[in-house]
Amino acid sequence: MIRLGTPFRIIKNVRDVVVVSINESVTLASVYLHPTGDMSADCNLIPTLGKTVTGCDCNSHSLLWGQLGHRRAVQRGRILEDYLVSNRMEIHNVGKKTTFESHSGLSSSTIDITVSTDDFDGEVTGWGIDERVITTSDHRFISFTINHGSIDSTEWVSRRNIRKTDHEKLRARLCNEFQEWDDEEICCVPKLEKVTSRLIDTIRTAVTESTPIKKVPCGGKLWWNNKLEGMKSELCSKRRQPRKGLCGVEDFKRAKNRYYHEVRKAKLEKFAGYLDSLGGNSRELFKLVKGRRNGINPLDVASIEELGDHFFGEIEADEERSDPLECTCTGNRRREPRPVSEGGTDEPGEAGLSKLRRLMEAFSVKDVDEVMRTFDDYKAPGPDEIVNVHLKTALGAGANVWIEKIVVARIQLSYFPTTLKGSRTILISKPGRVGLRSFRPITLLSAVSKLVEKCLAQSFLESFPHRGIPYQHAYIVGKSPSTALTDVIRTYNSGRARRSYRVMATLDVKGAFDNCSWSLTVSEARKCMPEPLVKLLASYLQGRVANLCVDGKTVRRKLVHGFQQGSALGPRLWNLSCSSIIVEINRILPVGCCCVVFADDIILVITAASERALLTLLKMAINRIKEWAGHNNMAIEEEKINILAETSSFSSEVEEELRGLGKVASSVRIVGIQLDVNLNFHQHIDLAIAKARGTLMSIRKYARLKYGLNDKALCLIWNALCVSILAFGVEIWGTVLRFEWCRKKVLGLWRQASRIALRAPQSAPNAIIMAITPLKDPLEHLLALWTHAWCHKDAFAGQSLGKGGSNILNLIGFKESYRESCEVKKSLMTDASVTERVKLEEYSADDRDLHIYTDGSKTQTGTGCGMVMLDKDGRVLEGDWISLPKSFNICQCEIMGISLGLSKIKKAAQRVQGTTFALHVDSMAAIRASFLTRTGTSLAAEARDSLRQLLDDGVDVRVFWVKGHASTKGNEMADSLARFAAREPKARESRNIPASHTREQIRVFSRRRVEKDLKKGLGRLSPRTHRWLHSMSHIRIWTRLREKDRRVILMAVCGFGTGHYLEKIGRLTSKACRLCGYFDETWEHLIDQCPKLSRIRYMVRRPPDVGYAYYFTERSRARRLARFATRVLQVLPNVQATGPH
């Protein structure tokens, strides 16, 4: 069992008896009965309970297991017979072969027996003596089979297979359950607790019944099989045969080599199957790339009690101790004086209460569904064992109605249910740390709790912004590390423009999320929120218990400060808690300085006319932040205070004082971006490329194997890991892409990755590698991200583009005025008066007086939208269309159609009062973008404003979704008008260029750049390389093509480049050959038959003796070659390349 890797547990191990348990279900025993011992007493050594198989050297004879022997052995056998029969045990010895044979061969007998308890019921079969196995003992090798499913070389653990859940069964089960619930309001705290607990129990029970159980191996050799077992037994039997002359040494070596070859083959097949299964599993791919590093066991660092005390304090969950918020947030107890609100967006009074009531009335199940769509399907479950994908199914079955009631009832009662406070905390190791600080506590909450928290945060808390929002850039919609660094760099560069002294300092708040004072949070909430929300937040914080689980050990600690990492409200409460100190620091700092915060990282930018003034401001800001942190149970880590300063511009005394404040360096890392004093980003680009190259090196060994990662897996790793590493913060440093050195570094990494993906040898030319790579062009991706940020986002659209940004636009081919024409995303807050007028399902609109149908169209010639107005009887009253710019996408055309329809409704409503209208749209995406989302484009904002204006004027308008191209009269007429508008040669001027048009132009720029590099590279190739290029057999992706197809593609590459060639595939310009007049113009005819192309065909089809530069220098031959490639491109509809294009 040790050799096979079978897991077992030793039950008894004494001189004559060994008993082991396999998988807690089968027991194996080995017993030796001494020939001179007391047989009546020795029989009790044989186990008789449970499922037990015993191999016994009984030193006795009986007809039940062999022949009779001498008198004493027969007497011992009779005693053993009585013992076995009385305990209902079965003897498995069969046949007449003896089990014992002396070395001299003069004596033999059967004294070894195999017995089992009756619980096996025929599961022990195949008993026999294997003569192939040569042992060093005088006992012969006995083999048998136990037909018991749980005995194998692998230990299995039963788990629920959440990816195989029967969602139809789950939905039907929940629908039946929710139909039996009484539809009543939640009016008190006990009712809220009861409904919440019942909802979670109902979903959990339904998930358990709908999810199958799977067995997961947690040990053993998964590649081992029966064939290897037989070969190993054969090898063991031949090991001593050469000494006895039964076989030759060469036979033994051949058997040994065959065995080792099969072992290696089994391992490769198992690993190849594992790699093949990773094609689309990004999570497992990332584990493979990053390596399966086993982190430090927390229990090796400290005990479970010490871990609980370090992360959550020393208050045990069972201790009775007053809550820190008890004096301010409970019933009739004394309350602290309410702080005075200080300007801005603070709404703690009646205005805040009325606003809160409007938000509660507008909150609906649509908001719950919209929040749920942002959740990942298979995140780790909390203590309720409900995964997000199960909760999404439950919402579709009717749970969203009860979630809505729970959210509204919490605000009305100002109470957070204790059922939703259950959690389980695990420790995640942090690299580069030692001791207890090398772990981060992550809390796993219930799926229902996370949904309720996020609904509260998005639909209510975000409507009452605090004063620190302009300076905080984490956990806020529309803000990111890039926006934080943009503010920092703009302030830092302003100091250089004024020729003043400048420094940048970064501070890290120690224990920000774990130790923040709750009293601080509640006092900040009172400044900007109405009292019901303040009480609700206090109830949310109170009564929480942390259950720390490490290796099966659990410790409970009562929380009296901090926010659980992993919750939806925790980050927002931290932003609320630090708002006052951010506002205070920015208020005391003069113009030209700023304090920017990203989560718990504080960034100070100080500029001053003199170095002494700068030092004074920096000291004042750091000391005030330290004082605030210490007063609220936190601290500033001294060793993490980094100061970015150009030391050559300061005197030695000031430099020494700066070093006393923190670590002075010429470059610092801020929110993932390496900044230096000159802000040229050289170090950041080098570090990012080195990190991405390390990822490539980790997958190269798997990609080059014959059984290694497939193309899909390699593309996924490149796009999701390597390109994302390069693209981080490109909105900040993207302007350096205008320099050739930066582009060369990025393209060098792409070329290295392409060689790995194509399995290309070192002799493969770079020009061809870059033209046929299946991987995403990183330069194209970086330029697309930068232009999307600076041309299509609110966060960057209002800022100065600068000289570097203008050069980037010129590099791509855009004019400097292009940015002004780009469409910018705007914030669209939820409006109940608009959303309630939208019906996404096919509701009846027969009671409407006038029906307006809209549609959009995008063709190769242009884009357009159309509308038609019908009355109740289906008579056409009016029709109109608009020709739009070619840059518009289809969704924009649909939104423009909606705006056109709303403008016609406005004119009709002015003519006839009291008319009811129905606006029919066949695009679900356009309806959601215009009326049902929180963010959208400027076109969607205009359509939304138009509908809101009509509703404010008292016009009865409802928006309906209609199924497109379903023979609906109005929809078909609107579609015809839209297609007619798309054919119009002149389009109306518009300043709204979508992001899709920008991406397409960048794609064209990238393709042209690759083709240009390809043409240059072909002219520098040697004749030997051309021969290799002609065969294309070294690159696996080209060997999938037929030989003729490879020749055609080669000619197309020589003429125009791969991108131009693939664009022309499938276009036929004439039926007859325009060179020789042959009736059928096909690529087979041009390559093999056309007499007009014989000379050029000869040059192209056979490897030339000179380089292709010869053909580029000869004008006539180059012109003919180009003409030949052009003719081939025009008549090639059937070539199917499997490359990237």
Alpha-carbon span 1020 to 311, nearest angstrom? 64
Helices (H), 313-462: 326-329, 350-362, 365-372, 388-394, 400-413, 447-459
SS3 531: helix
The average confidence (pLDDT) of the chain is: 79
Element (H, E) at 867: strand 863-870
633: left (phi over 0), alpha (psi -120 to 50) or beta: left
**What burial class does residue 652 get, using C-beta atoms within 10 Å of its C-beta: 0-12 exposed, 13-18 middle, 19+ buried?**
exposed
Which residue is it, tokens 């109940």? 832
Q: What is the 3-state secondary structure (H, E, C) of 94-149?
A: CCCCCCEECCCCCCEECCEEEEEEHHHCCCEEEEEECCCCCCCCCECCEEEEECCC
SS3 1103: coil
**Cβ contact 324:538 at 8 Å:** no
Instruction: Summarize pLDDT for 25-56 with one digit per residue, the tens.
Output: 788 899 998 888 888 888 888 888 778 889 99
Q: How many CA atoms lie within 13 A of 242 on its CB side?
A: 11
CATH number of 832-989: 3.30.420.10
pLDDT of residue 121: 63
CB 137: neighbour CB atoms within 10 A?
A: 9
Which residue is it, tokens 């009509």? 950
pLDDT of residue 988: 54
Dihedral angle sign, alpha carbons of residues 275, 276, 277, 282: positive
Listing from the earlier edge strand, what are the strands of the sheet with 52-57?
Answer: 9-13, 17-22, 26-32, 52-57, 112-117, 89-91
Q: Which residues pair with 869 in a beta bridge?
A: 852, 878
Dihedral angle sign, alpha carbons of residues 706, 711, 713, 717: positive
Give the single-character DSSP code of 555: E
Alpha-carbon span 524 to 532, nearest angstrom? 14
Rounded (10°) angle between helices 167-179 and 189-210: 150
Number of helices and strands (H, E) in the chain?
A: 48, 32
Which residue is it, tokens 């290694």? 708
Beta-carbon contacts of residue 504 (< 8 Å; ≥ 6 apart)? 488, 492, 603, 604, 605, 606, 643, 644, 645, 668, 670, 675
**Cβ contact 629:639 at 8 Å:** no
Helices (H), 1056-1093: 1058-1064, 1083-1084
CB 258: neighbour CB atoms within 10 A?
A: 13
Alpha-carbon span 140 to 906, nearest angstrom? 101
Element (H, E) at 746: helix 740-758
CA distances (Å), origin 983, targets 15, 143, 863, 988: 97, 84, 8, 13
Which residue is it, tokens 């309906």? 960
Backbone phi, then psi, for 31, in 5-degree steps? Answer: -125, 135
**Cβ contact 447:395 at 8 Å:** no
CB 432: neighbour CB atoms within 10 A?
A: 5
Alpha-carbon span 972 to 964, nearest angstrom? 8
Long-range contacts of 1040-1048 (CB under 8 A, 24+ apart): 1040/1138, 1041/1135, 1041/1137, 1041/1138, 1044/1083, 1044/1084, 1044/1087, 1045/1135, 1045/1137, 1047/1087, 1047/1100, 1047/1101, 1048/1083, 1048/1087, 1048/1128, 1048/1132, 1048/1135
Best CA proximity match to 595, nearest among 504, 496, 502, 493: 504
CB 228: neighbour CB atoms within 10 A?
A: 16
Alpha-carbon span 614 to 649, nearest angstrom? 12
Distance of CA 835 to the CA centre of its chain: 32
Strands 156-160 and 142-146 come out as unpaired
Mean pLDDT, 10 residues at a time, the chain of 1141 residues: 60 85 79 85 82 88 79 85 84 81 76 84 78 74 73 58 88 91 86 92 91 67 76 76 74 86 83 70 70 69 87 70 47 34 50 87 86 86 88 91 91 91 87 79 90 90 87 88 89 77 91 89 92 92 89 86 89 92 92 91 92 92 93 90 88 90 90 88 92 86 69 81 90 91 92 81 71 84 92 81 88 84 72 67 71 91 90 88 87 91 91 87 88 78 87 88 84 90 66 83 85 70 58 44 46 39 37 67 59 58 38 41 49 35 28
Question: pTM of the entire structure?
Answer: 0.70
Which residue is it, tokens 């309630």? 836
Best CA proximity match to 505, nearest among 625, 587, 591: 625
pLDDT of residue 583: 93
Amino acid at 946: S
Element (H, E) at 284: helix 282-290
Q: How many residues does the chain have?
A: 1141
Q: What is the 3-state secondary structure (H, E, C) of 605-659?
A: EEEECCHHHHHHHHHHHHHHHHHHHHHCCCEECHHHCEEEECHHHCCHHHHHHHH
For 9-146, which CATH class?
Answer: alpha beta
pLDDT of residue 1104: 40
Q: Which residues pair with 29 in a beta bridge?
A: 19, 54
SS3 178: helix
Q: Which residues pair with 997 in a beta bridge?
A: none
Backbone phi, then psi, for 654, in 5-degree steps? Answer: -65, -40
pLDDT of residue 84: 85
CB 868: neighbour CB atoms within 10 A?
A: 27
Alpha-carbon span 874 to 845, nearest angstrom? 13
Which tokens go with 341?
Answer: 């609100």
Q: How many CA atoms lie within 13 A of 744 on its CB side?
A: 3
pLDDT of residue 1: 54
pLDDT of residue 836: 67
